[in-house]
Structure 1
Amino acid sequence: MLDIREFTDELLTHPMVGSGPIPSAQDPDGVYPYESYAETSRRPVIRTYRFVVMENDHIKATICPDLGGKVYSLIHKGSGKETLFAVPAVRPVRILPRQFFIGGGIEVSFPISHSPVQIVPVYYQTNKTGERLFVWCGEREVRFGMQWTVEYSLGQDDSFLTQRTCFHNPTSEPHPWMAWSNAGVPARPDTEFCFPNGPVLSHGEAMRTIDWAEEGPKKQGELGRMTGFFWREPDCQAFGVYTPSLGSGLFHAADRRLTPGIKLWSDGVGRDEEWVSQYALDKEQCLEIQAGPIVDQSIKNELVPGTSHVYVEFWFPTDKRLDIRTLEVPEVELPPLASVPLFGFARRRETELWEQVVEAWQRRQPELLPQPPAPEDNRWAISGCEELEGALSWAAEARPEQASSWSMQLGAWYAGKDRIDEALTELERSGEDRALALAGRLYRRNKGDCFRAAACYRRIRSQAVALHPQVTCERDAALAGIGPETITERQTWLAKTSALQDEWLIERRATLLADQGQFAEAERLLRQTVFQLVHQRYARTRLWRRIMAGLGKPEEEAPSSLGEDDLFEFGAYREYVED
């Protein structure tokens, strides 16, 4: 048989709480122009998602275009075994770039890792040509305006899923990128790591290079903590995992010349298992096997205008252990690259307004301009649309009564493009509350001028904006940067939201206590708060160390309740330096 079909199904979905009204430009905990998130709801709702199934006599692959185009399920039909970690829920957790990562499935990341569209819809197409099925998923991403398409295909007799990935830069500027195919698979203590020998970069509490044959863990039960491994010079081109107690496994093969990146990520057994449990429903564990065209996640390549990058990889679901030294890269005849669709912007609500602004500008017809986004509408001018520079400048002149709103959006657009001086000019010209809040961030983070940053926050007129936790925290950081003379002002502002149990506010209250020398009170506040877990963020850990030094206990280990991992700071996940 060779069959392709579409269906819808319901998944438990935990809603997200947005970080706030300040555009995510220059935010180390976000990536412009995407909205980032501060919390995951503890109680889910029910939402409907679209799925596409491809299957033959050997495997059944289910793709979900509404979850960023990921492979949701990959079943080995001979045994009926599910080889991916397929969670019947969307329960996002705090991992960059948008702080809404979900584990499991096969995720394709571009232009940063993890995918900024992991739990939102992308475009898709399906086709059957001769004896081969195709599903294409992709979009034009809004960060840089580059296009990506992942092609999943299945032949009549294939016992593997073929994945071809294409990136294209249609813009006039070169842009940085990284890409990883990340497969989340079930993890048990007996899950075997079937990986090549050779030098491997081990990323745990420290960075070190190990010899995999001599020092590498052979199974999940041998890892007592979260650790990532990157292969430097593998002695073969295949890798994977197999779990005897489940009778299932997943293996990967690709041409090393085009796909040299090999990574294994595991949270191990014991102390770090809760980092997986937070995106599961039943505390079952997951680990990740990854591949990509770059050797590790501290590196980004550059895609110049008008060029594309393409690579092919293969996933082998299995009910037995495979020999990675005899697992060959299949020879599959794929259609010409020209037949792979390249998509446009995928989510109309995010982009339609900006396309209307560009159209009005190109026609020079102010009556075609839409209303600018309201203060509660976190749609910010997409940096991936080059035409918006001229269009927003024109809109501010063509509609003087809306000038402040369009200047605010142009300032955010400039900030998203790292054009800070131009951004500050437009934001100051706007004078809108959100513009002032973003200007405050830019003055503090990019100019090192906390005095001008504080002045921007003091000009905010709306009480709702002024008291929002995001604005309150950024204001407090600016005031703290001025020095002890702002203690009273900081106390006044933080007192206005003292009843809120917001994690960011609690962090700032503890910082204020430490700045006042009240280290015991600061320690007590942090200890009594159980923070949601967040990967690769260390602000609370640094604050804890400062408090312990103030108490004369510099060796006191940071409690797990702070919600931060203890990984060595490594990787190009964060675009801007953390506070």
Structure 2
Amino acid sequence: MSELRITDLTMPTADLGPVNPLPPLFSGMDSHVAGIDEADDEMRRNVAYGRVRTVLPYLKQDGYGRQHRPRAHRVAVLENETLRATFLLDAGGRLWSLVHRPSGRELLFRNSAFQPGNLALRDAWVAGGVEWNFGTIGHSTTTASPLHAVRAQRPDGTPVLRMYEYERIRRAVFQIDCYLPDDSEALLVHVSLVNPNDHEVPVYWWSNIAVPETADTRVIAPADQAWHFAYDKRLRRVPVPHYAGRDLTYTTRAAASADYFFELDTERGPWIAALDGAGRGLAQRSTRLLTGRKLFHWGTHRGGNRWQEWLSGPGTHYLEIQAGLARTQLEHLALPARTTWSWTEAYGHVHIDPTAAHSDDWQQARSAAETGVDALITSARIEQELQEAEDWTTGQPAELLHSGSGWGALERNRRAKSGDDSLNLPATPFPDTGLGPEQEPWLALLNGGQLPQWAPTSPPASYEVSPEWEPLLEQADGWLSRLCLGVLRAARGDLDGAADAWTRSVEDTPNAWAWRNLGALAAHRERLPAAVDAYARANDLAPDQLPLTHELVGILLRAGRADLALERIDSCSADQRADGRLRMLEARAALETGDTTRCGRILDDGLDVPNLREGDTSLSDLWHAWRRATAESGPIPDPSRTLPHRYDFVMRPESS
């Protein structure tokens, strides 16, 4: 019998830590800028459409470390006789585990620990399971945050886990209804994207599915061509399965990390499967709107192995099979005004003849895999599920299970002020009880015309950048209103207006936050002396803010003042001095001042930067620069020494 329950799952956990209070004014944009010479006109339009300047109004989640301790995570569990599905409610509703009960087989790659790494739009991201990505290109703004969760019900009594949230960049709602009918061998996931606005919004959706990777794992999809995308940022159409002298559907045969976006033959509906040597594994099928399918692998080079170890521990290997709205992850699509898009996905265990699954005849392998997917759920059946879901997924939930953010409630209140009831959505309620400390200043501005009194020694709890807030901020008094007004203007590209607002903020009340923003703007405009001055003022006012110290030292290095950078670092507290990123900056500054001994001591002691960005080669570049500088100044104790494994995050093999 199908069951839904809420419980706790305890696992080794590196806590997320505090959010970074410094608004990401000129960072956080998607980095997927590609050479698209081979793309067709439709893809070119989609690639150019909908890109964002920043992840504002969100703040970065970069306060995590790498120390693990047991922690209980709130989870929802759906279970029937065939499957047990576990969802992390505080981590974007991620499907963390999917167990095939008859065999006891875990169908997903389930991480042994909760360890954030810097791969998402807001930084923090966790490997493993199935991640739901909505909004803009990249791992979602909600991937490491709580979702609202409620209990709903199908007309036949099947319990439904409904998760949802208001996404602040697109100002739209996503809703995920998950259920396991009594007789179903597939977990069914119905997704709805709701645009409540009077204008179209660019949207992006990819369900990212991590599965175990072995030497005999093969990924099969109904495609004879794919778009290859790697770290040279170029999109190339390639044949499937054989490309560059190997079979790309076996991921351990590739040295380099890569994406393959399959050009699907969707006559019988889109699907993808990852099968081991015995022909067993996970399959995912969907209705036709979710037309994209992708294979991602880390490769077998040192950097790819290091990344997997960094994210999920030694000896772990996984790949990702993914499903999305567009053909590639470089694209946004236009969701029309006051429109909802919906589709249904199915996840489950398949077992096909291994000889056919691993046949050299690609068409035979495709046909056998499709037969296995049909045995799990046919295209006709999943289309029927979609049609039936349209009747019950708009109904009111039966019970609140878990709270997400208060931003949907705040936006509902703001719209209601002008008679707009577009966020009064019965299926996804945003009650006032969800309002919290982040929303309270904005509720005060909305209802009383002023932001509350805020000590300038403390950073603001949040920001808003929707245009409707601008006139309210312009009419409000005080340093905080002018600070927030500047952030709103910067988010829409009015940099002169932002500078004016921040200047008035510090004239009203000296505060580190407006000085920091003026410094970030000066650095963005390559006015480095002005940036150094503004950042120094900010740091003097808030010396205990580690993110501010990071940015100040970085600006000093950009300005060629490594000597001043070392002075600032030497004046920091012991806690700041122990921080991995600051130690990396210290090593860089030491090297630039010619102190190779100090740099080498830091590198030899062991240097970890918890939020090193995917694709960032700062550590390996630093190590190689130190080796060169040491060689120039005298004999090297061990001239044969190569780049240590702990510093090798390079995403391209040396031969590529």
The answer on whether the counterparts of 1:79 and 1:319 sit within 8 Å (CA) in structure 2 is: no
Q: Which residue of 1 aligns with 2:369?
A: 324
CA distance in 1, matches of 2:588, 2:201: 37
CA distance in 1, matches of 2:13, 2:227: 36
The one-letter code of the counterpart of 1:451 is: P
Q: Which residue of 1 aligns with 2:341?
A: 309
Q: Does 1:453 align with 2:479?
A: no
The answer on whether the counterparts of 1:529 and 1:562 sit within 8 Å (CA) in structure 2 is: no
Which of 548, 563, 580 in structure 2 is aligned with 1:503?
580
Q: Using the TM superposition, give the Cα deviation of residue 307 of structure 1 relative to its aligned residue in structure 2, in angstroms.
A: 3.3
Equivalent residue of 2:183, what SS? coil
The answer on whether the counterparts of 1:73 and 1:83 sit within 8 Å (CA) in structure 2 is: yes
Greater CA drift, 84-93 or 97-106: 84-93
CA distance in 2, matches of 1:373, 1:244: 62
In structure 2, stretches of 5+ residues that fail to align are 30-53, 358-367, 408-433, 633-640
Pairs aligned (count): 550
Q: Deviations over 1:85-123 (max 9, x none)?
A: 233532212212222211222111111331222232211
Q: Which residue of 2 aligns with 1:100?
A: 124
Matches within 5 A, 1:213-362: 213-215=241-243, 216-233=247-264, 237-244=270-277, 248-256=280-288, 258-269=289-300, 271=302, 272-280=304-312, 283-303=315-335, 305-320=337-352, 323-326=368-371, 327=374, 328-329=378-379, 330-331=382-383, 332=385, 333-336=387-390, 339-340=393-394, 346-348=404-406, 352-353=436-437, 355-362=439-446
Q: Deviations over 1:44-73 (max 9, x none)?
A: 242341313242x33332333222112222
Q: Using the TM superposition, give the Cα deviation of residue 290 of structure 1 relative to its aligned residue in structure 2, in angstroms.
A: 0.5
In structure 1, stretches of 5+ residues that fail to align are 398-402, 569-579
Q: Which residue of 1 aligns with 2:240?
A: 212
- Cα RMSD of the aligned pairs, angstroms, is 3.7
Relative to structure 1, is the Cα distance of residues 476 and 217 closer, same or farther in structure 2, using a 3 angstrom cutoff? same
Equivalent residue of 2:369, what SS? coil
Relative to structure 1, is the Cα distance of residues 48 and 143 closer, same or farther in structure 2, using a 3 angstrom cutoff? same
CA distance in 1, matches of 2:352, 2:482: 61
Relative to structure 1, is the Cα distance of residues 196 and 126 closer, same or farther in structure 2, using a 3 angstrom cutoff? same
Q: Does 1:429 align with 2:542?
A: no
Relative to structure 1, is the Cα distance of residues 364 and 218 closer, same or farther in structure 2, using a 3 angstrom cutoff? closer
CA distance in 2, matches of 1:351, 1:35: 20
Equivalent residue of 2:118, what SS? coil
The answer on whether the counterparts of 1:469 and 1:504 sit within 8 Å (CA) in structure 2 is: no
Which of 195, 205, 210 in structure 2 is aligned with 1:169?
195
Q: Which residue of 2 aligns with 1:575?
A: none
Q: Which residue of 2 aligns with 1:83?
A: 107
Relative to structure 1, is the Cα distance of residues 11 and 509 closer, same or farther in structure 2, using a 3 angstrom cutoff? closer
Q: Using the TM superposition, give the Cα deviation of residue 174 of structure 1 relative to its aligned residue in structure 2, in angstroms.
A: 5.1
Q: Deviations over 1:358-408 (max 9, x none)?
A: 443444365xx545477555622133x55432333344x2xxxxx123322
Relative to structure 1, is the Cα distance of residues 460 and 269 closer, same or farther in structure 2, using a 3 angstrom cutoff? closer
The one-letter code of the counterpart of 2:160 is: F
The one-letter code of the counterpart of 1:276 is: Q
The answer on whether the counterparts of 1:93 and 1:99 sit within 8 Å (CA) in structure 2 is: yes
% same residue: 19
Q: Using the TM superposition, give the Cα deviation of residue 430 of structure 1 relative to its aligned residue in structure 2, in angstroms.
A: 1.4
Q: Using the TM superposition, give the Cα deviation of residue 195 of structure 1 relative to its aligned residue in structure 2, in angstroms.
A: 3.0
Relative to structure 1, is the Cα distance of residues 355 and 130 closer, same or farther in structure 2, using a 3 angstrom cutoff? same
Q: Deviations over 1:498-530 (max 9, x none)?
A: 961433323433443554567797677557643
Q: Which residue of 1 aligns with 2:569?
A: 494
Equivalent residue of 1:198, what SS? strand
CA distance in 1, matches of 2:301, 2:555: 40
Q: Using the TM superposition, give the Cα deviation of residue 546 of structure 1 relative to its aligned residue in structure 2, in angstroms.
A: 6.7
Q: Using the TM superposition, give the Cα deviation of residue 444 of structure 1 relative to its aligned residue in structure 2, in angstroms.
A: 1.1
The answer on whether the counterparts of 2:193 and 2:340 sit within 8 Å (CA) in structure 1 is: yes
CA distance in 1, matches of 2:7, 2:170: 32
Q: Deviations over 1:321-363 (max 9, x none)?
A: 6733333423324232684379999324996346444443444
Q: Does 1:11 align with 2:35?
A: no
Q: Deviations over 1:123-180 (max 9, x none)?
A: 1222222334422211002334321111223334322222222222334665443221
Q: Using the TM superposition, give the Cα deviation of residue 542 of structure 1 relative to its aligned residue in structure 2, in angstroms.
A: 5.8
Q: Which residue of 2 aligns with 1:364?
A: 448
Matches within 5 A, 1:381-460: 381-383=463-465, 386-395=467-476, 397=477, 403-431=478-506, 432-445=511-524, 447-460=525-538
CA distance in 1, matches of 2:550, 2:589: 11
Q: Using the TM superposition, give the Cα deviation of residue 20 of structure 1 relative to its aligned residue in structure 2, in angstroms.
A: 4.2
TM-score by length of 1: 0.82
The answer on whether the counterparts of 2:149 and 2:403 sit within 8 Å (CA) in structure 1 is: no
CA distance in 2, matches of 1:100, 1:123: 19
The answer on whether the counterparts of 2:202 and 2:332 sit within 8 Å (CA) in structure 1 is: yes
The one-letter code of the counterpart of 1:149 is: Q
Q: Deviations over 1:6-65 (max 9, x none)?
A: 33333332113447442223234883323320542312242341313242x333323332
Q: Does 1:149 align with 2:175?
A: yes
CA distance in 2, matches of 1:23, 1:469: 14
Relative to structure 1, is the Cα distance of residues 138 and 19 closer, same or farther in structure 2, using a 3 angstrom cutoff? closer
TM-score by length of 2: 0.73
Q: Using the TM superposition, give the Cα deviation of residue 264 of structure 1 relative to its aligned residue in structure 2, in angstroms.
A: 1.2
Q: Deviations over 1:411-435 (max 9, x none)?
A: 2333344432322222222121022
Equivalent residue of 2:67, what SS? coil
Which of 377, 380, 405 in structure 1 is aligned with 2:462?
380
